[in-house]
């Protein structure tokens, strides 16, 4: 069965996951993280992909992004592979790809899923035991959202701005969400939708997005199409 093309809808919110091969660490020191973020910043600007939230984990990365056209997201990810992989291979005297297949991505209904997706990503280091608190992890967008530093990589999503009329209100409300984290059910829903490439949102949102894409946005219903009965 032919593989469906990746679902990309300009200006919509997308969740992206790129995993590395088993047993390989994408980042072995702080310079690796900084180098990756430098390539990501350059690529996001060049291909006009707004990055709203992210986290770099030792064996995978997550982004919440809004591409400006259908090609920008793939071009951004290709750029990262084209520059970071040779950098990594030269530094550690290895060869071959780092990636476990092509990156996974899907479209999310921002009003419902941006904040859970952002919290899910930024609390990932805590769930993985890397740090006791999300504020202590420097390789995510959390410190930006919490007001600890201004991250040039992050373009704030309108849903984040809606958390309060002032930066203090937004940051305080977001910190409360981080403290509550996300449920295992929410994590499963986000991960499965992204891995399978099916849009995540309400029926109305799916209908709206289906008009903007030539690709199906959700799985076809099982069984053969029902034939109309003739009188």
Say whether 10 sits in a helix, a strand or coil: coil
222: pLDDT strictly greater than 70: no
| 8 A C-beta contact, residue 53 and residue 121 | yes
173: pLDDT strictly greater than 80: yes
For 31-87, the pLDDT digits (tens) are 999 999 999 999 999 999 999 999 999 999 999 999 999 999 999 999 999 999 999
For 111-134, the pLDDT digits (tens) are 999 999 999 999 999 999 999 999
The CATH number fitting domain 13-210, selected from 3.90.1170.50, 3.40.50.1370, 3.40.50.300, 3.30.70.1290: 3.30.70.1290
Q: Report how far apart, in Å, the C-alpha atoms of 169 and of each of 85, 131, 204 are.
A: 40, 25, 31
What pLDDT score does 231 carry?
Answer: 33
What pLDDT score does 223 carry?
Answer: 58
- pTM of the entire predicted model: 0.91
Closest CA to 187 of 119, 140, 136, 141: 119
Average pLDDT over residues 90-97: 94
CA triple 47-50-54, angle to 5 deg: 115
Burial class (CB in 10 A: 0-12, 13-18, 19+), 72: buried
What pLDDT score does 210 carry?
Answer: 87
Mean pLDDT of the chain: 92
Please report the DSSP string for 90-101 in residue order: HHHT--S--BSS
Average pLDDT over residues 213-220: 78
For 192-216, the pLDDT digits (tens) are 999 999 999 999 999 999 888 877 7
2: pLDDT strictly greater than 80: no
Average pLDDT over residues 3-9: 82
229: pLDDT strictly greater than 50: no
Closest CA to 193 of 92, 93, 113: 113
Where do the domains of the chain lie? 13-210
What pLDDT score does 226 carry?
Answer: 53
């Amino acid at each position: 069965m032919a593989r469906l093309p990746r679902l990309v809808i300009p200006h919509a919110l997308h969740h992206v996951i790129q995993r590395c091969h088993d047993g390989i660490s994408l980042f072995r020191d702080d310079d690796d993280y900084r180098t990756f973020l430098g390539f990501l910043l350059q690529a996001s600007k060049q291909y006009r992909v707004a990055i709203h939230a992210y986290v770099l984990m030792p064996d995978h990365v997550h982004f919440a992004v809004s591409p400006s056209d259908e090609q920008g997201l793939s071009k951004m990810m290709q750029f990262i592979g084209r520059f970071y992989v040779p950098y990594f291979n030269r530094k550690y005297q290895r060869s071959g790809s780092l990636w476990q297949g092509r990156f996974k991505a899907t479209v999310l209904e921002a009003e419902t899923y941006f904040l859970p997706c952002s919290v899910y990503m930024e609390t990932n280091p805590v769930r993985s035991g890397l740090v006791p608190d999300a504020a202590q992890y420097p390789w995510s967008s959390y410190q930006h959202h919490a007001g600890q530093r201004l991250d040039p990589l992050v373009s704030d999503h309108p849903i984040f701005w809606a958390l309060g009329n002032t930066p203090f209100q937004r940051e305080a409300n977001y910190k409360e969400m981080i403290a509550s984290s996300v449920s295992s059910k929410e994590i499963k829903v986000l991960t499965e939708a992204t891995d399978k490439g099916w849009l995540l949102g309400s029926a109305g949102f799916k209908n709206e997005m289906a008009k903007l894409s030539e690709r199906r946005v959700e799985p076809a219903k099982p069984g053969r199409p029902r034939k109309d009965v003739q009188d």
